[in-house]
Amino acid sequence: MVSDEGAVRVDSWIWSVRLTKTRSMAASACRAGHVRVNGERVKPAHSVKAGDEVRLRVAGRERIVVVKHLLRKRVGAPVAAEAYVDNSPPPPPREELVVAPRR
């Protein structure tokens, strides 16, 4: 369900474009201060619109995306990828990642 008019809750949009696995994880990230819209920390009910920059810190990595289309429902991965422009820095190479010892 693509919608270009109005605004959508930030937690719902983050979940719809598959940046988090669940909507509750998206809401928790907002409450913890890991989500910024146009440079400001936001609550889960904050509205986003086309052109907003959303920064999300998830799994130890920062994702920087610009909203192209608003989505109200979760969609397939190819459609979700067209809803934003990903300006995130590339992930570090595997050999540079520190591996925690397993017991």
pLDDT digits (tens, 9 = 90+) for 15-38: 999 999 999 999 999 999 999 999
Q: What is the pLDDT of residues 32-64, one digit of tens each?
A: 999 999 999 999 999 999 999 999 998 888 999
pLDDT reported for residue 89: 87
Query: Which residue reads 């909507």 in tokens?
Result: 23
SS3 15: helix
Fold for the domain defined by 2-88: 3.10.290
* More reliable by pLDDT, 92 or 81: 81
The average pLDDT across 67-82 equals 93
pLDDT value at residue 47: 95
Provide the pLDDT confidence category of residue 103 given band limits of 50, 70 and 90: confident
Q: What is the CA radius of gyration of the chain?
A: 14
21 CB contacts (<8 Å, ≥6 apart)? none
Count Cβ atoms below 10 Å from residue 30 Cβ, excluding itself: 23
Q: Taking phi first (over 0 means left), then psi (-120 to 50 degrees means alpha), and beta for anything else, what does residue 98 get?
A: beta
| pTM > 0.85 | no
- Name the pLDDT band for 97 (thresholds 50, 70, 90): low
